């Protein structure tokens, strides 16, 4: 067009030549195409002329536009993009990488991405990842890494190996997103669904799952375990005289006392109200649960010094052994519960084994 022609003429007057200027021409049919234009002055038949070389660079310009577009996309996406060389040294990161990891581009170029590792995954995890990646050219999954500040974060990452025509790996491209908030939400929802909000102990749902696991493991390993079913004696009087707020504090204190009586490997749960259960793993007979039940009764017998006043409660405990008293979880609960209610009928503040109950005839 005329504007370009005037620019070219001005450059010729100024420099006497033109070197590799990008100019848009139009073909005979009117369609535009980009060219690389070079012009030199020379003499021809005693006349001063210009020689022009015109190279069609339409495809190259289109490729450049694609590269420019890809660059803009990489700059604006919220997913982090990391490209490494065949030795897994970083050669490119986009702005989202800095947003997520807190490391700038200059801080990571030339480094192996392993410096981001959190320590939560062992060598076997990474060994398996690299094996799959090199065998299939692709791996994706969840990884915990560490930000520059030291904070842990969870990411969902997809890694692809790029190969040349000969099949040799030329680059690794990793795209990942920060899923920390999602993981935290999942953990919070899971905890709300499986733990008692008042005491922080496992609730009925998690207890039943743990009981099912204990039954299956004990069957497989031919081991015993005991189920203790505890109900507080005198708890209703605390609520009636000191108030429900005091009752809640008493339940929290009871949970703490019970935790001091069992091992970390045992399961202590609150079923509802003032009912608690304990799964004692790996017992050899009646002696082990009897000792734990005795410790629990002694712990409960201590006065509760509450803000609203001093409270006194006791406990009734029923004990059932697996597989002696029942062959599955529901029946084990029923036997332990029946033993606990038998204690209440006999005067409370005691322990009774299901095997000592009279059998229905």
120-161 pLDDT per residue, tens: 999 999 999 999 999 999 999 999 999 999 999 999 999 999
- Does the pTM surpass 0.75? The reply is no
Question: How many other C-beta atoms are found inside a 10 Å radius of the C-beta of residue 337?
Answer: 19
User: Which parts of the chain register pLDDT below 70?
Assistant: 359-361
pLDDT for the residue 361: 40
**Token pair of 334, please?**
């029923």
Question: How many other C-beta atoms are found inside a 10 Å radius of the C-beta of residue 49?
Answer: 11
Q: Looking up tokens 């503040």, which residue turns up?
A: 349
Axis crossing angle, helix 235-242 with helix 244-261, rounded to the nearest 10? 140
- Find how far residue 248's CA is from the centre of its chain: 33
Which neighbouring-strand residues pair with 169?
A: 163
Residue 118's nearest CA partner among 134, 142, 94 is 142
Taking the C-alpha atoms of residue 1 and residue 23, their distance in angstroms, rounded to an integer, is 10
| 146 to 14, 103, 172, 291, 323: CA distances (angstroms) | 58, 11, 21, 46, 47
| 84 to 88, 90, 127, 305: CA distances (angstroms) | 5, 4, 18, 64
Q: What are phi and psi of 326, to 5 degrees?
A: -165, 155
Residues whose CB falls within 8 Å of the CB of residue 12, separated by 6 or more in sequence, listed in order = 18, 39, 41, 50
Contact 305, 285 (CB under 8 A): no
**Token pair of 154, please?**
């969870």
Q: What is the gyration radius of the CA atoms in the chain, in angstroms? A: 38
pLDDT for the residue 50: 83
pLDDT for the residue 74: 80
Residues whose CB falls within 8 Å of the CB of residue 222, separated by 6 or more in sequence, listed in order = none
3-class state of residue 71 by DSSP: helix
Contact 90, 111 (CB under 8 A): yes
pLDDT for the residue 359: 63
Which neighbouring-strand residues pair with 22?
A: 36
């Amino acid at each position: 067009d005329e504007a370009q022609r005037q620019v070219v003429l001005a450059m010729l007057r100024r420099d006497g030549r033109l070197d590799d200027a990008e100019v848009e021409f139009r073909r005979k049919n009117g369609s535009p195409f980009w060219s690389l234009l070079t012009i030199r002055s020379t003499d021809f038949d005693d006349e001063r002329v210009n020689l022009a070389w015109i190279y069609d660079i339409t495809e190259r310009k289109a490729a450049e536009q694609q590269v420019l577009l890809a660059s803009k996309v990489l700059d604006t996406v919220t997913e982090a993009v990391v490209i490494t060389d065949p030795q897994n040294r970083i050669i490119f990161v986009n702005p989202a990488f800095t947003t997520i990891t807190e490391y700038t581009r200059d801080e990571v170029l030339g480094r192996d991405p392993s410096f981001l590792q959190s320590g939560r995954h062992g060598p076997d995890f990474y060994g398996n990842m690299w094996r799959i990646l090199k065998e299939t050219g692709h791996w994706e999954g969840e990884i915990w890494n560490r930000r520059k500040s030291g904070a842990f974060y969870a990411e969902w990452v997809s890694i692809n190996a790029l190969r040349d025509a000969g099949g040799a790996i030329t680059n690794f491209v990793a795209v990942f997103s920060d899923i920390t908030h999602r993981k935290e939400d999942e953990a919070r929802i899971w905890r709300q669904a499986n733990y008692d909000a008042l005491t922080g102990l496992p609730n009925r749902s998690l207890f039943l799952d743990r009981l099912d696991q204990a039954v299956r493991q004990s069957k497989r390993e031919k081991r015993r375990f005991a189920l203790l079913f505890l109900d507080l004696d005198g708890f209703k009087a605390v609520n009636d005289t000191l108030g429900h707020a005091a009752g809640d504090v008493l339940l929290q204190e009871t949970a703490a006392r019970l935790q001091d009586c069992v091992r970390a490997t045992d399961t202590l749960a609150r079923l509802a109200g003032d009912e608690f259960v304990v799964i004692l793993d790996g017992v050899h007979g009646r002696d082990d649960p009897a000792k734990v039940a005795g410790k629990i009764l002694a712990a409960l017998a201590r006065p509760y010094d509450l803000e609203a006043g001093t409270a006194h409660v006791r406990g009734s405990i029923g004990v059932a052994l697996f597989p002696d008293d029942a062959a599955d979880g529901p029946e084990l609960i029923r036997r332990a519960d029946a033993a606990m209610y038998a204690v209440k009928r006999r005067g409370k503040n005691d322990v009774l084994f299901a095997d000592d109950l009279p059998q229905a005839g």
